[in-house]
Structure 1
Amino acid sequence: MKIKEIKEILNAEVITDFSNENTDIKYGFASDLMSDALALVKSDSLLITGLNNSQVIRTAEMLDMSTVLFVRGKRPCPDVVSLALENQVTILSTEYTMFKACSLLAINGMEGIEADD
């Protein structure tokens, strides 16, 4: 799924944009526990979270993830935006809850990550 599609499906705001027309996000992973992300996430995944601190961007960077989605209208503080810019991480924000955002993405074809993948 392209970033543009994610933005449209979730009525999301793009806060930082390092995507291009070829950026493809295959999986979605939702968690506020970055330790879970470190254990399970693949690089071609969208990290969906309500956690709003620099650890989210550091986790994305460690996992070579290109995109983070903040839910529940969370907006990253300037330090988080700066870190995302430094690490070329695209940040999106949606007003939807985590459950609703995940549901809409799944309905539109995004796959989830299974613990045994």
Structure 2
Amino acid sequence: MRLLLDTHLLLWWLAGSPSLSGKARALISDSENTVFASAVSLWEIWLKESLGRLRLPADFEERLAEESFESLPLTAAQTRQLALLPWRHRDPFDRMLVAQARVESLTLLTADPLVSGYGDFIMLVR
């Protein structure tokens, strides 16, 4: 399976947080799956950190580099898909992750029930 982590799941995985469900942990750690971390999530993380809304551990970048996640850049086709999404959810970062998953045929893993309503390519892991 090709999985895209939403921003919360990415942060929880890197922190070893108990907030990450067993189902999510199993999917991410399964070597049969290819796991993607989006540039959109990193944009959100660095933005929130710079605004003082998120405190990252000093070794955040090292932890991220140690993971075997595939990097998912933002493309023009993905931004076009964003404009076609219904307005079920107002968070621009979540909406962009949904658009990326749809365009790239990825399964988006999320713990957010608001995000899960966009289609069967989204897996709610709570």
Give the TM-score, by structure 1 length. Answer: 0.37
Give the TM-score, by structure 2 length. Answer: 0.35
**Which one has the bigger strand percentage?**
1
Greater CA radius of gyration, 1 or 2? 2
